[in-house]
Amino acid sequence: MDAKIIQAATALKDKTVARRRDFHKHAEVAWTEFRTAAYVAQTLTDLGYQVSTGVDVHDEASMMGVPSKAELEKQMQRAIDQGADKAWVDKMAGGKTGVVGVMKFAKPGPTVALRVDMDANDLTEATEEKHRPFREGFSSVNKAAMHACGHDGHTSIGLAVAEVLAGLKDELAGTIKMIFQPAEEGVRGAKAMMAKGVVDDVNYVVGMHLGVNLRKTGQVACRTEGFLATTKVDATFTGVPAHAGAAPETGKNAILAACTATLNLHAISRHSQGISRVNVGVIQGGSGRNVIPANAVIKVETRGVNSEINEYVYNEAVRIIEAAAMMQGCSVKMELMGGAAGCGNDDALVERIRKVAERQKLLPDILPSGNIGGSEDCAYFMERVQKNGGQAAFVMIGTELAAGHHDGFFDFNEDAFVPAIALMSGAAADLLTQG
């Protein structure tokens, strides 16, 4: 079967490159991936998958950092203007752009999920000749949206894997779930799909990422370490305005509350059982130098080596933010803007994927592990599957990068596509034939 998979992956390279460049040119940021998701949904349907999207795969209460209704409607129309099927886009109203394609094979077997992410970054792409997407005419046409993390490649690889597996349907057993997830940037999208139960029946889940710290085509790490659980929260303080010279005693200073919170958040005790982090990355407020400021906001993130430690830091952060507001006579409203679980890879699944890579010989440089060095919300899917008794792994596939992730000059070597398609297809097929 390996030879058949490699042959199919090779045959799909040109189609995958074309898709990647189309997605790159029409980059869409978190919760607005209407055009991308509509293309994914129609492609999976054409391949024979049972496709679900919109309210069927999202728990609305668990969606974080969603744009305004007006912005979503604007982006829906833009997607339609850029060629998206209106019927699919309408199903995704409210930013519910995740897509799940399911194919059940004739023989009984496990349920395997492969997850890829679809969203772009809130970033303006470089417009210089040295930047290949600009030079070759596929740089983003959408303002302040750029695929600077490789998700355009991930989506294209996912569609190719779906096609390879559909072509093997008479030889496979069990069920394949292709999960195309929105809003990974800011770790916002997976929780809503996980909470809807998308992976509750899954025995094995595998995620993947191009690049990160694997910067050479031919490299692969079948185990990814360094996942940090995280919570992103915006805290908005509301005080009472007053003239700073004539009547300062009548005001309640929201900036003082924000600053009090900021200083004390960074004093949270680190956890003895593992890595913990807290950061205030943005502080904004006030209206003028002679006005007691009535409004201020801080944008905070907590992290932990696992979900329990992150929860400890987050709970301490909430306590401190509320106390800071009370101390200055202000009120505070906190809004969750993103989050990810912390988890590890299952040794048995990692070993199976490694053996597939060894057999295929398309990724000869097999590393013991790769370090993602932060948070990845695929961990929500991984953690849920593991808690239900299943296994999870996250694969990093090497590629040369023109610039670092989230850089306006980001680009990657598309020669990574064939080995990536083959490995992900081969790993799924191995699980779907041997259980």
Alpha carbon distance 402, 410 (integer Å): 6
Alpha carbon distance 88, 41 (integer Å): 8
pLDDT over 90 percentage in the chain: 96
pLDDT number for residue 375: 87
pLDDT above 80 (res 2): yes
Establish whether domains 2-226+343-434 and 229-340 are of one fold.
no
Looking at domain 2-226+343-434, its CATH class is alpha beta
Alpha carbon distance 344, 322 (integer Å): 33
- Which tens digit of pLDDT belongs to each residue from 209-226? 999 999 999 999 999 998
Task: Give the SS3 label for residue 371.
Answer: strand
pLDDT number for residue 312: 97
Burial of 266 (0-12, 13-18, 19+ CB in 10 A): exposed
Q: Using an 8 Å Cβ cutoff, are 407 and 146 in contact? A: no
The more confidently predicted of residues 341 and 141 is: 141
Confidence grade of residue 207 (pLDDT, cut at 50, 70, 90) = very high
Span 383-398, average pLDDT: 97
- Which tens digit of pLDDT belongs to each residue from 149-173? 999 999 999 999 999 999 999 999 9
Q: Using an 8 Å Cβ cutoff, are 223 and 370 in contact? A: yes
Q: Which amino acid is at 100?
A: V
Alpha carbon distance 33, 47 (integer Å): 21
Nearest to 207 by CA among 185, 223, 230, 188: 223
Alpha carbon distance 121, 188 (integer Å): 13
CA-CA distances (angstroms) from residue 101 to 1, 32, 37, 413? 23, 19, 12, 28
Backbone angles phi, psi at 286, to 5 degrees: 85, 165
Q: Token digits for 6?
A: 């490699």
Q: Token digits for 135?
A: 């030079």
- Which tens digit of pLDDT belongs to each residue from 38-95? 999 999 999 999 999 999 999 999 999 999 999 999 999 999 999 999 999 999 999 9
* Mean pLDDT of the residues in the chain: 97
- Which tens digit of pLDDT belongs to each residue from 3-50? 999 999 999 999 999 999 999 999 999 999 999 999 999 999 999 999
Give the architecture (CATH level 2) of 229-340: 2-Layer Sandwich (3.30)
Alpha carbon distance 253, 294 (integer Å): 6
pLDDT number for residue 342: 83
pLDDT number for residue 424: 98
pLDDT above 80 (res 133): yes
Would you list the domain boundaries of the chain? 2-226+343-434, 229-340
Angle between helices 2-11 and 151-167 (to 10 degrees): 130
Taking the mean position of all CA atoms in its chain, how far away is CA 435?
Answer: 28
pLDDT above 70 (res 402): yes
Task: Give the SS3 label for residue 334.
Answer: strand
Nearest to 35 by CA among 105, 148, 119, 109: 119
Task: Give the SS3 label for residue 80.
Answer: helix
Confidence grade of residue 343 (pLDDT, cut at 50, 70, 90) = confident
pLDDT above 90 (res 341): no
Nearest to 340 by CA among 159, 157, 115, 170: 115
Confidence grade of residue 144 (pLDDT, cut at 50, 70, 90) = very high
Q: Using an 8 Å Cβ cutoff, are 149 and 410 in contact? A: yes
- Which tens digit of pLDDT belongs to each residue from 226-246? 889 999 999 999 999 999 999
